[in-house]
Structure formats: structure tokens, C-alpha cells
Chains A and B, each alone.
Chain A
Amino acid sequence: EVHLVESGGGLVQPGGSLRLSCAASGFTFSSYWMSWVRQAPGKGLEWVANIRQDGNEIYYVDSVKGRFIISRDHTKNSLYLQMNSLRAEDTAVYYCARCWYYGSGGDVWGKGTTVTVSS
């Protein structure tokens, strides 16, 4: 069965850093684009970043460019999101999603990990 499990969320102060992980299982991780999508409390979905199978093509939403880095490790079947210079507006549940191509959004989603940026 296909599974995505996020981890690494928590409470962090403004300006701080956090690294999210997403462990994939049940499919050939190296064959898919992957995404991070977030949802602020009581708000809608916001796409954050996409990464191609080989890691050489990456896209970010404007609000995180220069602060967040998406990456992947095929030896660990894992997706990562390094979040730096965190702001209160980054507070959200972060989901990882498997994409069947770069523009597909996601066909399989994890349950999410919560990031709270507050002093």
C-alpha cells in the first residue's frame, strides 16, 4: 500500500529553522515528482514546492523562495523541506504529496505535520 508519513514539525520561534521529512513507501519513489503543500489554521490549501524525480528541476511559491529548500534522498525514499527564517505566516499543517507529473498537484497525500511559528 502506498504511504507517505511526514515528521519534523513543532514549535519554533520567528527567524528559526526546521527540517520536515516525508517517508515514502509502497511505490517507486524515484519515479515520481513530489510536492509540499501547506494549510494554515482555518484556511485553504497552498502549494509550497515541487521537485522532479532527479532533483534537478524545482519550483517554489514566491512567498518561500530564498527561505525554503526542497530536496529528496532516493536511498532513504524520503522527501525533505528545510525551512529557514520562519515567519508567523508559515504556521500551518504541511503535507507531502506524490505527483504523477510536475503539474498534477498530488494523487497520494500524507497526513501532515504541524509547524507553529511563535515566540
Chain B
Amino acid sequence: QSVLTQPPSASGTPGQRVTISCSGSSSNIGTNTVNWYQQLPGTAPKLLILNDNQRPSGVPDRFSGSKSGTSASLAISGLQAEDEADYYCGAWEDSPNGYVFGTGTKVTVL
């Protein structure tokens, strides 16, 4: 199975906008929806964005997702200290069938 490629790190000051990219291929992002997960230190992952750009109930609208072709992006607007975490994208991959996660991006609030 493939792995989706993310930058290892991103950072910003409080209030800034941070964007994280997720690069895949025609067999995963190109044909299936993308989800994003937030993992705070020492905790389980939490679903942040589903189906490319939908926020589950309770997720602040500071978080937004988008997709174009074989790439996706997560944007965090109005960065806050509590946003400091690891972020992972994920998508189903066809042939071979399986779910693939991104390499992960550590977001630091300066």
C-alpha cells in the first residue's frame, strides 16, 4: 500500500493561518474522499475533517479541508495554542484495497 505525503512540520504564531498539504495518487486521493485527523500529545487521533471538506459536530470552523486532483489540504485559521498537535490525512486506496494515512505533520504554535 502507498503512503500519502505530508510536510513533517508546520508552524505559526497565534492568529495566523497554517496550511498542511497531503499528496497522493490517482488510486487514493484521486478517486476517494480525504479525511483529516488531529492527534494531541499522548492521546488517540480525533476525526477533524471528513469527506474532503466536512466538519464533524463540535469541530471549530477554524478548520477547513479542500481537495484538488490527487492532493488535499487542511487549513487552520486563527491558530490557537491548543492546535499544537500532529495532523494526519487519510484516504481509501483502490488496488490493493486498504486505507492509507499520510506521513503526519507536527504543527507548532510559536
Seen from chain A, the residues whose Cβ lies within 8 Å of a Cβ on chain B are 35, 37, 44-47, 50, 59-62, 95, 100, 102-112
Contacts and interface: CB of A to CB of B under 8 A. Distances in A.
Contacts, number: 64
Nearest to B86: A44
A119 to B, nearest CB: 28
**Interface residues of B, dominant DSSP:** strand
Given A61-B98, A103-B92, A45 B35 contact: no
A47 B2 CA distance: 11
B50 interface: yes
A65 to B, nearest CB: 10
A61 B103 CA distance: 16
Contacts of B1: 61-62
A54 to B, nearest CB: 17
Interface of B: 1, 32-33, 35, 37, 39, 43-47, 50, 56, 86, 88, 90-92, 96-104
Contacts of A112: 44
B47 to A, nearest CB: 5
Contacts of A102: 92
